[in-house]
Structures are given as structure tokens and as C-alpha cells.
Amino acid sequence: MEKSSSEDEIVYSETIDLSNVEEENKYLTQAINKLEEENKVISNTLNKLEQESSMLRELFNNVNNELNNLKKPALLVSEVVSIKDDKAIVKLPNGNKFYCYVSQDVEGLNSGDAALVDQKSLNIVQKLDVNENFEVEKYIILEKPKEEWKSIGGLKDVIQEVREVIELPLKKPELFEKIGINPPKGILLYGPPGTGKTLLAKAAARSTDATFIEVVGSELVQKFIGEGAKLVKDIFALARRKAPTIVFIDEIDALASKRMETGTSGEREVNRTFMQLLAELDGFKHLGNVKIIGATNRKDMLDTAIIRPGRLDRIIEVGLPDEEGRLEILKVHTANMSLEKIKKKELVNLMGGFSGADIRAVCTEAGYFAIREERSSVTHEDFLMAIDKVYRDEEDDEESGFFG
């Protein structure tokens, strides 16, 4: 009986109007085609988004890693006084001793070794191979520079003064002995970035055939807490060994800046490094063959102790070049360029407020414009475009508060 009822249904369905079904079918195929197309578009978009997302993820990871590295606190360099199993007594740079734990990863630590200690917990996290890590030559640049006085544009008076104070006593100390005066032990160059301070120091070294030791103040105090003062000592010992020497201390404000109070251990550390620098300055002779040139963009920040008589007591401003200076700098930097006819006066006029470094950048950019168009010489137009570019780059930097 049941069977017959299902047969009934079949019979009923066969009575459906076929033309209608065909139309519906057509309609459905069309709809399916459309959906398939849409599907393709969507999966394309999806692929793109996935690619983008993986790129962004990678970028995020990189930035995150960088951030984590920046967040890591500096480690204290300290001395292991004694050690037993996973515990040790360490002596910090300030002389205080602590009983602390030794991290499991640290192997082969003996008393007398130097170790890196976490600032908060004071646990030993790494053994430090002193000879390997603190060879002073790794923290400085030591060279025989090639820059000559004639590669400096403008700055006539400044050059004259640097030569009198640095070059003359090194070359002709007898002049000073005869007259009976003491030349300054060193000078302080101050002024905006890119105005030629480093260049002057290098030219002074070159003209006296002196060893040039460059130290960057901020690096000295940031690299490893606890070693700044020792590094200063080692640097001057090296300077004496390699004499005649010019020690160039860039960003000297990082070492010798005015501080309200010396509260944190970081500040005390800077202070110790600074005291060592003063001690070194006081320790050597006016007519010795080691000279110091300090440089800073922030003269107002300097602790006056560094510029007291007998220390860096000749203070020289290295300002932005005037029109004549800019012309000379432009000449220096275009001397080896292959040029069409260019109107230097007009260019110099357009570069008001540019530093020597900016003018050099203009020359480089102008050269690039020529190279991009596969020309073999640089035109006035190239320079105009280059000035515009350097000008705009500068503005961007200012907007982003770079020199704020």
C-alpha cells in the first residue's frame, strides 16, 4: 500500500510544466556563473589581503623585536669577587658588593672575572671577556685623516684660530717657550650640525700628521655602564702612546652636560666618566703632544667645568656659512664634478640657511639627476632641482621634530 502512494507522487511530479523548469534552469546557470565570477574576484582579493597581512605581520614582528631590544635595560659591568655553585658575590662599579644568583646559562665563571649584571635583580646574566669586549680601540675611531685645510670652504677665521691653537704648538713648541706663554690644551667647537666641526678636527690632524682619535660622547656613556671612566682613561693612555695625537670628542655635551642633581645610577655614571675626563685634561701638559678638540651642537648644555682655564678654554663658534662661505663650499664640492655651465652665484643665493653638509647633499643630488637621465655632465637645472629636494627634505625633518 505504501508503495502505491509513492508512485502516486511520482506521477504527480511528472505533470510539472517542463518549459518553466528550463527557464529556471537557465536562470540558475546564469546565477551560478555570476557567483563563480564573484567568487574569483573575492578569492583574488583574499589572496592579496593575505599577502598584505603576512607582510604587515613581518613588519610588526621586526618593529616589535627592535622595540624589545630598545626596552632592554643596560647591564652593569661588575667584578666577581667570589663564586660558589649558582651564587656569587659581585662588586659593582661604585664599590658596593652584592650577594647574587648566577643565571644557568653562564658557564666557566671564576672569581676575578668581569660579568654583566642585571640592573634590577643584580643577578649575573653573562660572563664578560674583558680583553675581547673592552679593547679601547673598539670604542673609538683611530685614523690618519685625509681632509686638508683646502677642502674646507669658508670658515677663514675659524681655520686660522684652530691652526694657531692646535697646529702651531704641535709643530713649533719652541715659539711658545721663547715667548713664555702656554697654548690652550684644547678647544671647543660649537655650532649647528653639518657646519664642518669634524672636518676641522680632521684637517688639524692631517696637517700635523697626528693620530686622530674620535670618540662620541653619547656612545661612551651608553654602551656599558661602569666602563665609561675606564674607557676615558684608556683612550688618553692610547693617545699618549700614539702621540702626536688629536683626541676629538664629538657630542661632548653627553659627557659634560649640566645636571641638576646626580640621582640615578646612570647619572652618577656619566658624572664619573666626566670627572675622569677632567682629571685627564688637568693631567697633561700645555705643550705636550696630545690635543683635545671637543664638539657640540648644544653649548648651552655644557657644564662650565669643562671650559675652565687650563681645560678646553678656547671656545670657537662654527656657524652656518654666509653667502661667500657657501660659494666656497660649493666650489670645494663641485671641484671634481663634470659640469655644464652653472651659475654658482644664483645657486648660492638660493641656498640661504644651508649648512656645508646641505651643500654637499645638493651636489650629490644634482649628480644623481644627471645619472638618472644618462647624461655625462651636470646642468644648472639639475642643481636647481637638487636644491629644491634638499630644501624639502629639511622641511620634512623639521616637521617631524627631528631637530625640534
Ligand X SMILES: Nc1ncnc2c1ncn2[C@@H]1O[C@H](COP(=O)(O)OP(=O)(O)OP(=O)(O)O)[C@@H](O)[C@H]1O
Which chain residues interact with ligand X by CB under 6 A? 152-155, 193-199, 250, 295, 297, 329, 332, 356-357, 360
Strand order in the sheet with 97-101: 97-101, 87-91, 76-84, 114-117, 124-128
What is the per-residue binding string for Mg ion in 149-188, x denoting contact by CB under 5 A? Answer: ----------------------------------------
One of 78, 195, 198, 245 touching Mg ion (CB under 5 A)? 198
Quick check: 245 binds Mg ion (CB under 5 A)? no
Smallest gap, in angstroms, from Cβ of residue 42 to ligand X? Answer: 53
| Number of chain positions touching Mg ion (CB under 5 A) | 2
Question: Which position's Cβ is nearest Mg ion?
Answer: 198
Quick check: 273 binds Mg ion (CB under 5 A)? no
Helix, strand, or coil (residue 98): strand
Strand order in the sheet with 141-143: 141-143, 211-216, 245-250, 290-296, 186-190, 314-317
Measured CA to CA, the distance from residue 370 to residue 17 in angstroms comes to 79
Smallest gap, in angstroms, from Cβ of residue 345 to ligand X? Answer: 18
Q: Which stretch binds Mg ion (CB under 5 A): 28-36, 44-52, 82-90, 198-206?
A: 198-206
Smallest gap, in angstroms, from Cβ of residue 361 to ligand X? Answer: 8
**Among ligand X, Mg ion, none, what binds residue 169 when CB lies within 5 to 8 Å by partner kind?**
none
Residue recorded with cell 637638487: 386
Measured CA to CA, the distance from residue 200 to residue 145 in angstroms comes to 11
Question: Which position's Cβ is nearest ligand X?
Answer: 356
Instruction: At 116, give phi and psi (nearest 5°).
Output: -95, 130
Quick check: 296 binds Mg ion (CB under 5 A)? no
* 400 DSSP assignment: T
Residue 227 and residue 219 in contact, taking contact as beta carbons nearer than 8 Å: no
Measured CA to CA, the distance from residue 166 to residue 162 in angstroms comes to 6
**Among Mg ion, ligand X, none, what binds residue 297 when CB lies within 5 to 8 Å by partner kind?**
ligand X
Beta bridge partners, 257, equal 302
Footprint of Mg ion on 341-380 (CB under 5 A): none
Smallest gap, in angstroms, from Cβ of residue 226 to Mg ion? Answer: 27
Nearer to Mg ion, 210 or 215 (CB): 215
Nearer to Mg ion, 197 or 311 (CB): 197
Q: Which stretch binds Mg ion (CB under 5 A): 194-202, 220-228, 324-332, 358-366?
A: 194-202
Residue recorded with cell 629639511: 394
Measured CA to CA, the distance from residue 292 to residue 247 in angstroms comes to 5
**Among ligand X, Mg ion, none, what binds residue 195 when CB lies within 5 to 8 Å by partner kind?**
ligand X
Smallest gap, in angstroms, from Cβ of residue 133 to ligand X? Answer: 27
Alpha helix segments (H runs only) across 315-402:
323-334, 344-350, 356-372, 380-399
**Among ligand X, Mg ion, none, what binds residue 155 when CB lies within 5 to 8 Å by partner kind?**
ligand X
* 74 DSSP assignment: P
Beta bridge partners, 80, equal 90
Nearer to ligand X, 109 or 363 (CB): 363
Grid coordinates representing 184 are: 690652550
The residues of the shown chain that bind Mg ion, judged by CB under 5 A, are 197-198
